[in-house]
Amino acid sequence: MSAVVALHSYKGSGLGLIRNGKMVKALLARGYAVIAPEGIGGSWNFRAQGRDDVAFIRAVADDATRRGNIERGRILLAGFSVGGSMVAYVACRTPEAFKGYAPVSGNFWKPEPKTCAGPVNYLHTHGFRDTTMPIAGRSVGSGLRQANLLESLATLARASGCKDSEITVAATRSWSGCQTNLRLVMHPGGHSVPRFWADAAIDWFEGL
């Protein structure tokens, strides 16, 4: 069986994510189990200081493989908002941990990684009208600042051996000459998971 490990947004919960009926129903209809771990205090730790959430997320996937009829190499790591940010850090630090990564409206934070550990299959979905995590990034108080999305994707592209050239078709941007599949899909909405996401993400994942 295949699965999606889905990471909740800031101050969210695993149960709250599972209650996102339309998205979960769409994933289940495609034959995917949905696993929703929960970050301590409704948050995720990107910096690997105090607790290692990268190791925790990998352990969740390993445990699902041991206890359920799930193939370890058929797990997609996804997340929304800050959950998407956590996906980006797992992909950058341990690209081999999952076959594919699919964050929605979540990205690195300043100071962002300048290099990543290796090539990665990465599908990022983002809204043109997202003002919570805008493409250019923004300050959110207490000295925290979101990184620029396109600069972050360029870092992942370099780690994946992509050429500098990009191919843009409508609202989809992909990179040529990559060792892996790196893609950005924009939609006209704001800070949300668009209705098409579940099927589009699974179509992408199954094409890897």
The per-residue pLDDT for range 59-115, each reduced to its tens digit, is 999 999 999 889 999 999 999 999 999 999 999 999 999 999 999 999 999 999 999
Confidence check: pLDDT of 189 > 80: yes
- Provide the CATH number for the domain formed by 2-206 in this structure: 3.40.50.1820
Question: CB–CB of 150/141 below 8 Å?
Answer: no
CB 132 within 8 A of CB 199: no
Hey, where are the domains in the chain?
Answer: 2-206
User: Residue 22: which residues within 8 A CB-CB, separation 6 or more?
Assistant: 195, 198
- What is the rounded average pLDDT for all residues in the chain? 94
SS (H, E, C) 62-101: HHHHHHCCCCHHHEEEEEECHHHHHHHHHHHHCHHHCCEE
Q: Look at residues 120, 107, 103, 93 and name the one whose alpha carbon lies nearest to residue 182.
A: 120
Give me the phi and psi of 51, to 5 degrees please. Answer: -150, 155
pLDDT in tens, 125-181: 999 999 999 999 999 977 889 999 999 999 999 999 998 666 676 688 988 899 999
pTM of the model: 0.95
What pLDDT does 167 receive? Answer: 66
Sequence-distant (6+) residues with CB within 8 A of 43 are 10, 11, 82
Closest among 148, 178, 155, 156 to 165, alpha carbons compared:
178
Stretch (H or E) spanning 53: helix 53-67
Whether the predicted pLDDT of 48 surpasses 70: no
Taking every pair of Cα atoms in the chain, the longest distance, rounded to a whole number of angstroms, is: 44
User: Strand, coil or helix: what is 173?
Assistant: strand
Band (pLDDT 50/70/90 cuts) for residue 27 is: very high
